[in-house]
């Protein structure tokens, strides 16, 4: 029955069933039921029900009468409903995810014996959950926050959970501080305000009181904290792990995911508006991309340091508040992950998935990173409170390889293990421990020596060098955004102690940064730097300078604004070219019912109307000409706002014929040279031409710098995500 079971899900699922990727799908099939029109309503104990509408009553046709408690059907429905919720995650409550596959293409036998990272013929099924940290389960997707990036690899040797973030460092060095950093960031205890925001007194009070957080809060104020899409974020394991090879040699490693689509962010005003206009923006974005077959991909990279070199750096490589700069330890990309299947049911798959950093497979190990070791305790513990002690038995969590042991009982145990013994050793030699040759996890024989004390090594005490490195590595635009972010955040702190101390802390990073922010938010403007800036840079930290992949507009949403009398030839040409480039053209009109073209013959049914859908939800805007259409749009305040707001958010705007005048009217800036000349013209990301005809498109549209055609220039602009020159020139209208 069409629509009852999501089609996109079935399509990919069937394609994958014959492969190793399909192993998890086959496993899940044991617990998956499709609801069909052949099904009949039953109770949980299987008895068919005659109605879902009326509680059993003692009454008559004239008098309804009281409900009877004896009604088992009604009681079951209400009781089940009353208990539908489980505790939301104490952090990262808001999120969504998808299934996919991972394959290593450059096996790293020299570092590890883990087949998931060495066997290039293997496909490993994965489930990935993305999240925000601070907000509760119903909060908005676009809040300024760190994003979680948690990957469960269902390997043939057991589950490996790599539970990372989109920012490579963390606020604290030692796990014992986690409750403090989270309490300070979550809504304040007296009034539970604010929701999903770091812009409040307690968050910044904590940051000031913990100099170790300095590096991380710089990242959190950068554009990394307002991603355009989960598909356009990097992911980082953050902690230092180890890899052990077949010879028993150990390396320290950090893991990285880098997206095929480049690393891109929203602009802040847009993120704020989307929070209200489309709070599900990120989860819908992921779903839509997968449903449309534009599967997001990430390259998987490692940075490796031989055990013997552990102390060769001026930072401690086990300190999660530090990156390993690429000029010292380059990233080697060795594999690729693709997400290609949306979940069937949110609760049983996304809500019940349980990640544990302690879940690693042979060939991978922990390090003495004091944050990681605490995490290894916390995740297991939290799953017991969220899901119960048998959480690993839930379909989404259980491994695709055999599981057998003497763990027994507990709430909601449902594996039935047939055996007369439940202990080891036993007289039957049932279920003995495995040998190394059989693939047992054997701990690395690490030498441990020292005193028992609550200590942190000396190198953990440097809290500023890398905060400066990060700031120095930003482009002018990124610096501008960070300043604006501090100005916003500290403006929301009402306690002068909080904002004035924080402004002074900024002087430890950069004098000019501190001065500018102080002027905006109040507090004493610092008169001298807190400490000298070492001046070093690491360009790979900048998301604008980060070496990108080939430019693409795949999956970018492009609005085409129409009204009655639109130029159908330009519209058709643009629509076809966008679809061919795998972008998502969205037609927006004054109404959702049919809009007729200038020739009186062609027509289109818009996907949305100007009020219902906003410019914040698209990446670029195209307006075909047509005198009557443009006249209508020019009188429509919301349509004009659309163009002005898209311009203010630095989006590329394409206009042909009469529509060029509309753009001029909406943005009203003489410095943006707009003209409907015969030639293609481009000025600060506004691309114009007098007439767009299919023959002016060329055979294939090259998305490359320096291209000359109208569509090529428009596409290249979109592929660059935003027109930063517009912002640098101070031309973005304040919308």
Interior angle at CA 437, CA 358 and CA 357, nearest 5: 5
Least separation, in Å, of the C-beta of 148 and ligand HDD?
3
**Of 89, 186, 250, 341, which one interacts with ligand HDD (CB under 6 A)?**
89
CA distances from 365 to 49, 132, 172, 641 (A): 54, 27, 22, 55
Kindly tell me which residue out of 12, 28, 91, 116 binds ligand HDD, with binding defined by CB under 6 A: 91
Among 111, 160, 178, 255, binds ligand HDD (CB under 6 A): 178
94 binds ligand HDD (CB under 6 A): no
Give the one residue of 12, 108, 116, 150 binding ligand HDD; rule: CB under 6 A.
150
Closest CA to 125 of 411, 451, 399, 469: 399
Task: Say whether residue 165 binds ligand HDD (CB under 6 A).
Answer: yes
Nearest distance, CB of residue 356 and ligand HDD, angstroms:
8
Q: Which part of the chain contacts ligand HDD (CB under 6 A), choosing from 91-99, 191-199, 276-284, 724-732? A: 91-99
Which range in 87-95, 499-507, 613-621, 705-713 contacts ligand HDD by CB under 6 A? 87-95
Work out whether 388 is an interface residue with ligand HDD (CB under 6 A). no
> In the complex, what is the shortest distance from the CB of residue 127 to ligand HDD, in angstroms, rounded to a whole number?
10
Nearest position to ligand HDD, beta carbon? 148
Between 182 and 401, whose beta carbon lies closer to ligand HDD? 182
* Rounded distance between C-alpha atoms, residue 315 and residue 321, angstroms: 10
Exposure string (b/e) for 409-430, b if CB count within 10 Å is 16 or more? eeeeeeeeeeeeeeeeeeeeee
Q: Report DSSP state, residue 435.
A: P
Choose between 267 and 329: whose C-beta lies nearer to ligand HDD: 329
Contact window for ligand HDD (CB under 6 A) among 86-94, 110-118, 415-423, 449-457: 86-94
As measured in angstroms, the least distance from the Cβ of 92 to ligand HDD is 3
Q: Judged by CB under 6 A, which of 148, 185, 275, 399 binds ligand HDD? A: 148
- Comparing CA positions, the residue from 603, 706, 694 lying closest to residue 656 is 694
469 with 538: CB under 8 angstroms?
yes
| Site size toward ligand HDD, by CB under 6 A | 26
Cβ-Cβ contacts under 8 Å for 49 (sequence gap 6 or more) = 41, 42, 43, 73
CB of 386 vs ligand HDD, minimal distance in Å: 7
Q: Which is nearer to ligand HDD, 238 or 578 (CB)?
A: 238
Q: Respond yes or no: is residue 165 known to be catalytic.
A: yes
Binders of ligand HDD in range 479-498 (CB under 6 A): none
Q: Which is nearer to ligand HDD, 164 or 185 (CB)?
A: 164
96 counts as binding ligand HDD under rule CB under 6 A: no
CB of 465 to ligand HDD, least distance (A): 20
Cis peptide before 675 (omega within 30 of 0): no
Tell me if residue 201 is catalytic. no
Residue of 30, 61, 92, 264 marked active site: 92
Nearest distance from C-beta of residue 165 to ligand HDD, angstroms = 4
User: What does the DSSP assignment read for 438-474?
Assistant: TT-------------SS---GGGG--SHHHHHHHHHS
Q: CB of 406: closest distance to ligand HDD in angstroms?
A: 26
d(CA 82, CA 618): 39
Give the N- to C-terminal CA distance of the chain in Å, as an integer: 46
Q: Compose the 300-329 pattern: x for residues touching ligand HDD by CB under 6 A, - for all others.
A: --------------------x---------
CB of 730 to ligand HDD, least distance (A): 37
Q: Among 257, 255, 258, 228, which Cα is nearest to 240's? A: 255
- Rounded-to-integer distance, Cα 450 and Cα 472, Å: 38
| Active-site residue (options: 30, 83, 159, 165) | 165
Of 6, 72, 107, 374, the one binding ligand HDD by CB under 6 A:
374
**Whole-angstrom distance, CA of residue 115 vs CA of residue 108:** 9
User: Is residue 239 involved in binding ligand HDD (CB under 6 A)?
Assistant: yes
Number of other residues whose CB lies within 10 A of the CB of residue 715? 29
In sequence order, the 6+-apart residues with CB closer than 8 A to the CB of 268 are: 144, 226, 481, 484, 485, 488
Residues from 27 through 56 that contact ligand HDD (CB under 6 A): none
CA 264 vs CA 163, 292, 541, 661, 734: distances in Å: 21, 20, 13, 31, 21
Entry field: residues in the chain: 735
Stretch that binds ligand HDD, among 164-172, 324-332, 459-467, 581-589 (CB under 6 A): 164-172
d(CA 43, CA 50): 11
Min CB(8)–ligand HDD separation in Å: 22
Of 382, 516, 555, 720, the one binding ligand HDD (CB under 6 A) is 382
Kindly calculate the radius of gyration of the chain based on its CA atoms and give it in whole angstroms: 29
Among 9, 74, 151, 175, which residue interacts with ligand HDD (rule: CB under 6 A)? 175
Distance CA 659, CA 672 (A): 15
Question: Which positions touch ligand HDD (CB under 6 A)?
Answer: 89-92, 95, 129, 131, 148, 150, 163-165, 170, 175, 178, 238-239, 320, 354-355, 371, 374-375, 378-379, 382
Please identify every residue annotated as catalytic.
Answer: 92, 165
């Amino acid at each position: 029955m069409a629509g009852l079971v999501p089609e996109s899900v079935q399509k990919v699922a069937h394609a994958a069933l014959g492969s190793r990727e399909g192993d998890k799908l086959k496993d899940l099939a044991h617990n998956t039921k499709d609801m069909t029109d052949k099904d009949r309503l039953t109770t949980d104990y299987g008895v068919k029900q005659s109605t879902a509408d009326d509680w059993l009553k003692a009454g008559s046709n004239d008098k309804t009468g009281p409900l009877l408690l004896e009604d088992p059907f009604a009681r079951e429905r209400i009781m089940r409903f009353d208990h539908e919720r489980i505790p939301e995650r104490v952090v990262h409550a808001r999120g969504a995810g998808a299934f996919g596959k991972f394959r290593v293409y450059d096996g790293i036998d020299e570092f590890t014996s883990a087949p998931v990272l060495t066997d290039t013929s293997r496909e490993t099924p994965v489930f990935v959950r993305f999240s925000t940290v601070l907000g509760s389960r119903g909060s908005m997707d676009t809040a300024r926050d760190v994003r979680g990036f948690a990957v469960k690899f269902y390997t043939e040797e057991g589950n490996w959970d790599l539970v990372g973030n989109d920012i490579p460092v963390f606020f604290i060095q030692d796990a014992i501080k986690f409750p403090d950093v989270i309490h300070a960031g979550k809504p304040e205890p007296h009034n539970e305000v604010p929701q999903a925001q770091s812009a409040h007194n307690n968050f910044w009070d904590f940051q000031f009181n913990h100099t170790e957080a300095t590096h991380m809060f710089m990242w959190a104020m950068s554009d990394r904290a307002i991603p355009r899409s989960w598909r356009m974020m990097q992911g980082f394991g953050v902690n230092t792990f180890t890899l052990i090879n077949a010879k028993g040699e150990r390396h320290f490693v950090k893991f990285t995911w880098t997206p095929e689509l480049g690393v891109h962010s929203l602009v802040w005003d847009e993120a704020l508006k989307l929070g209200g206009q489309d709070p599900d923006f990120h989860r819908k974005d992921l779903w839509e991309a997968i449903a449309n077959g534009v599967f997001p991909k990430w390259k998987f990279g490692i940075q490796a340091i031989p055990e013997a070199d552990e102390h060769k750096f001026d930072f401690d490589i086990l300190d999660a508040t530090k990156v390993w700069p690429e000029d010292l330890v380059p990233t080697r990309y060795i594999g690729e992950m693709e997400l290609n299947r949306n979940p069937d049911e949110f609760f049983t798959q996304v809500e019940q998935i349980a990640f544990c950093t302690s879940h690693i497979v042979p060939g991978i190990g922990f390090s003495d990173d004091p944050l990681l070791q605490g995490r290894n305790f916390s995740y297991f513990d939290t799953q017991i409170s969220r899901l119960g002690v048998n959480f690993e038995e839930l379909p989404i969590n259980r491994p695709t390889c055999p599981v057998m042991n003497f763990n027994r009982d507990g709430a909601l145990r449902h594996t039935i293990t047939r055996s007369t013994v439940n202990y080891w050793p036993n007289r039957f030699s049932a279920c003995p421990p495995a040998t190394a040759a059989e693939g047992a996890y054997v701990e690395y024989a690490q030498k441990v020596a020292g005193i028992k004390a609550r200590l942190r090594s000396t190198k953990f005490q440097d809290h500023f060098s890398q905060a400066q490195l990060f700031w120095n590595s930003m482009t002018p635009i990124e610096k501008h955004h960070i300043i604006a972010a501090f100005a916003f955040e500290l403006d929301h702190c009402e306690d002068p102690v909080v904002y004035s101390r924080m402004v002074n802390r900024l002087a430890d990073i950069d004098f000019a940064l501190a001065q500018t922010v102080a002027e905006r938010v109040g507090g004493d403007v610092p008169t001298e730097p807190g400490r000298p800036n070492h001046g070093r840079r690491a360009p790979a930290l900048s998301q604008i300078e980060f070496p990108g992949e080939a430019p693409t507009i795949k999956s970018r949403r492009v609005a085409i604004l129409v009204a009655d009398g639109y130029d159908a030839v330009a519209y058709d040409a643009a629509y076809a070219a966008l679809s061919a480039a795998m972008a998502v053209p969205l037609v927006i009109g004054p109404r959702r019912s049919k809009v007729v073209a200038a020739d009186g013959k062609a027509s289109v049914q818009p996907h949305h109307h100007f009020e219902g859908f906003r410019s914040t939800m698209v990446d670029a805007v195209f307006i075909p000409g047509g005198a009557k259409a443009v006249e209508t749009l020019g009188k429509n305040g919301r349509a004009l706002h659309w163009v002005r707001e898209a311009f203010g958010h630095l989006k590329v705007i394409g206009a042909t014929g009469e529509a060029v005048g509309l753009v001029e009217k909406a943005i009203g800036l003489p410095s943006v040279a707009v003209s409907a000349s015969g030639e293609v013209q481009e000025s600060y990301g506004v691309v114009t031409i007098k007439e767009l005809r299919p023959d002016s498109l060329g055979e294939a549209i090259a998305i490359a710098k320096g291209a000359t055609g109208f569509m090529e220039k428009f596409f290249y602009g979109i592929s660059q995500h935003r027109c930063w020159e517009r912002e640098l020139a101070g031309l973005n209208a304040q919308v």
